[in-house]
Amino acid sequence: MLDVTPHAPGKDEPVPSSAQPTRSPSPRYGARPTMKDVAARAGVGLKTVSRVVNGEPGVTADTERRVQDAIAALGFRRNDSARILRKGRTASIGLVLEDLADPFYAPLNRAVEEVARAHGALLINGSSAEDPERERELALAFCARRVDGLIVIPAGDDHRYLEPEIAAGIATVFVDRPAGRIDADAVLSDSFGGAREGVAHLAAHGHRRIGFIGDRPRIHTAAERLRGYRTAMADAGLPVDESWVSLGPTEPGRVRAETERMLAGPRPVTALFTGNNRVTATAVRVLARSPRPVALVGFDDLELADLLSPAVTVVAQDAARLGRTAAEQLFRRLDGAAEPPRRVVLPTRLIVRGSGELRA
C-alpha cells in the first residue's frame, strides 16, 4: 500500500521561529537577496560585501562583522551563476556515461566525483543510454553550461561535433572507449589482452569448444574483446565455429536465447566467455539450470561472484581506476598541460575462481 500522509509538523521538533526575526525592509518576495541588498543593510559598498564573501583581505574586523550580520539576517547566498559569468570558469565538469545505474559505471562515476571534489569542482552527469544522439545532446548541453572539462564514455563513433568545443578550450577526456574520428585523450582497459587471457585460461584447461557472447560490434570494447577471443583461439590452435560467436544487445532475452542455443547445438560449447557484466549475469542464470556443467569466464567482476557455485572466474577491470585516471588527466589539462593527446591503457586482472576447469 502506498500511503500518503500529510506529515504532522509538530512531530519531529517544533520549528523555532526565532530563526528569521526581521526580514529587513522586505526585499521583493521570492527573490533572493543580492550583494546589493546586503550592502544596503550593512551600510557599506557593494564591493566590500564581495570582499567579505570571498574572504579577500582589506576589510576591517568591524566592517566585516557588520557585513556578516547582514548576510545572516538576509539569508544571503552568493549567486554562482553570476560569478561564473564574470570569472569565466565554472569549476564544474561534465560526465557522460552510458548508464548511471550500471554497476560497472557507478564506481567510475564515484571516482570521477572524488577527483573533481579534490579540485573543488562540481560534477554534472548524464546517461547516454548507449544512444549516440543522446550522448551528443548531453555533451553539448554541458558545453553550453560551460563546464571546464568533459569526460565522455562514448556511445557513438563520431565525435567531430566536439571539435569546436575542444578548440574553444573545453578539455575533454574519453574513458572506456576511444573517441571516434578525432584525436583526444583516452583512458581504456586492455579489452583485447584481457579477453585473450581469459579465453586462454579456458583453453589451458582443456576446452576446445568455447563460445563468445558480447555486446554490439560497433562498440569498441566489444570488438576488441572479440579480437582477443579469436587471437586466443588461434594461439591455442583451436578452430572457431561461427555459431559460437554472438554479438548484439545485452538485454537478458537475447543473451539467454544465445546461451541456450550454444549449449544445445550439435556441437555444443563446453565453455563460455562473456563480454561484460550484464552478459555474464544472464549467462550465469542460464548455466545454473544447465544439466551439464559449462565453464564460464566473464569480462568484468561481479559483486558476490565469489559466492556463486561454481564461483565465476572473471577478467576484472578497475572501474574506479579508470575514472580516477581520466579525471586526473582532465585536471592536468585544465592546469595547462599541453602535451599531445595520449592514450592510457590500464591492465586487466584475471581472477581465477575455479570455474575454468573442464568438468564435462
Partner DNA sequence: TAGAGCCTAGACAACGTTGTCAGATCCGGA
Partner DNA sequence: TCCGGATCTGACAACGTTGTCTAGGCTCTA
The contact set with DNA (CB under 7 A) reads 6, 9, 17, 20, 31-32, 34-36, 43-48, 50-51, 53-54, 57-60, 62-64, 76, 78-79, 82-83, 85-88
Largest separation between any pair of C-alpha atoms in the chain: 89
Are 171 and 333 within 8 A, CB to CB?
A: yes
Shortest spacing between CB 330 and DNA, in angstroms: 23
* Residue (of 108, 169, 124) closest to 325 by Cα position: 108
Q: Which one-letter amino acid corresponds to residue 117?
A: R
Residues of this chain, 185-204, that bind a copy of itself according to CB under 8 A:
186
The mark string for 103-142 relative to a copy of itself (x by CB under 8 A, - otherwise) is x--xx-xx--x---x--xxxxxxxx------------xxx
What values do phi and psi take at 311, rounded to 5? -60, 145
Among 160, 216, 267, 292, interactor with a copy of itself by CB under 8 A: 160
If the CB atoms of residues 165 and 215 are measured against a copy of itself, the closer one turns out to be 165
If the CB atoms of residues 20 and 267 are measured against a copy of itself, the closer one turns out to be 20
Does residue 26 touch a copy of itself according to CB under 8 A? no
Does residue 306 touch a copy of itself according to CB under 8 A? yes
Shortest spacing between CB 16 and a copy of itself, in angstroms: 8
In order, the DSSP letters of 81-132 are HHHHHHHS---EEEEEES-TT-TTHHHHHHHHHHHHHHTT-EEEEEE-TT-H
* Residue (of 219, 214, 149) closest to 185 by Cα position: 149
DSSP annotation of 314: E
Instruction: Extract long-range pairs of 280-284: CB within 8 Å, 24+ residues apart.
Output: 280/312, 280/314, 282/250, 282/252, 282/255, 282/256, 283/213, 283/255, 283/259, 284/308, 284/312
Does residue 284 touch a copy of itself according to CB under 8 A? yes
Shortest spacing between CB 270 and a copy of itself, in angstroms: 21
Question: CB burial class (10 A; 0-12, 13-18, 19+) of residue 277?
Answer: buried
DSSP annotation of 42: H
What values do phi and psi take at 66, rounded to 5? -60, -45
Shortest spacing between CB 25 and DNA, in angstroms: 16
Residue 179, beta-bridge partner list: none
Shortest spacing between CB 245 and DNA, in angstroms: 50
Residue 44 contact, options a copy of itself, DNA, none, Cβ 5-8 Å cut-off depending on partner type = DNA
Does residue 61 touch a copy of itself according to CB under 8 A? no
DSSP annotation of 70: H
Segment lying near a copy of itself (by CB under 8 A), choices 223-231, 245-253, 283-291, 349-357: 283-291
Residues in the chain: 360
In the numeric block, the cell 550484464 is attached to 278
Does residue 350 touch a copy of itself according to CB under 8 A? no
166: enclosing H helix or E strand: helix 163-167
Does residue 146 touch a copy of itself according to CB under 8 A? yes
Shortest spacing between CB 34 and DNA, in angstroms: 3
Residue 289 contact, options DNA, a copy of itself, none, Cβ 5-8 Å cut-off depending on partner type = none
If the CB atoms of residues 34 and 243 are measured against DNA, the closer one turns out to be 34
Shortest spacing between CB 345 and a copy of itself, in angstroms: 6
Among 143, 271, 322, 327, interactor with a copy of itself by CB under 8 A: 143
If the CB atoms of residues 90 and 329 are measured against DNA, the closer one turns out to be 90
Does residue 36 touch a copy of itself according to CB under 8 A? no
Segment lying near a copy of itself (by CB under 8 A), choices 96-104, 203-211, 261-269, 352-360: 96-104
Beta strand pairing status for 210-214 and 245-247?
parallel
Does residue 57 touch a copy of itself according to CB under 8 A? no
